[in-house]
Amino acid sequence: MIDRRVEPRLLCADIVGLSWKDKGGRARKTHVNLEDISLSGACVQIDSPIPLGTAVRIAYEKGELSGFVKYCVFREIGYFLGIEFDAGSRWSQKHFKPQHLLDPRRLVLRSINRVVRSAATTPSNHIN
C-alpha cells in the first residue's frame, strides 16, 4: 500500500467521542481510541466497523472535527478507521492536543544524533 499522506501523522493515545448515522439513519455515538492524527485526518480504533464514506464527527473536550471514513480494517484488537477531515475541518494543536502525542520524526532525529555523537567520540582504528 502506498502512503499518500501530504503531512506527517503524529502518534497519540487519547479517548475521544465518535458520532455518525448508521445505514438506517439512526444517530450512533461511542468512545474510541485516537491512534494518530494530522492536519487533515486521523485514525481511531473502534469495536465495530463503519462503512466507507460514512460522515463522522470526532468530539473532544473543547470542540469537534468532521470528516468521513476513508478506510476500515480489522486488526487483531479491533477495527481501525481512517478518517479524512472535511475541507473546513483541520486539526491544530492549539485547539486540541491529544494525550501522549508523539512525532515519530523526532525519534528518528534523536537516534541519528545519538549515532553521530557516538561516532564523533569513538576513536577510529586506522592501520598505518
What is the grid cell recorded at 7?
Answer: 503531512
d(CA 13, CA 116): 31
pLDDT of residue 1: 47
d(CA 3, CA 20): 26
Record the pTM: 0.76
pLDDT of residue 6: 64
pLDDT of residue 115: 63
- Report angle CA 116, 102, 58 to the nearest 5 degrees: 160
DSSP state, 26? -
Topology adopted by domain 10-121: Thrombin, subunit H (2.40.10)
- pLDDT 10s digit of each residue in the chain, 128 long? 455 556 778 888 899 999 999 999 999 999 999 999 999 999 999 999 999 999 999 999 989 999 999 999 999 999 999 999 999 998 888 888 888 877 877 665 566 666 666 666 766 655 55
Exposure string of 36-69, with b = 16+ CB inside 10 Å and e = fewer, is bbbebbbbbebeeebeeebebbbebeeeebbbbb
- Report angle CA 107, 110, 114 to the nearest 5 degrees: 140
pLDDT of residue 53: 97
- Which residues neighbour 70 within 8 Å (Cβ) at sequence distance 6 or greater? 41, 52, 82, 83, 84
pLDDT of residue 2: 54
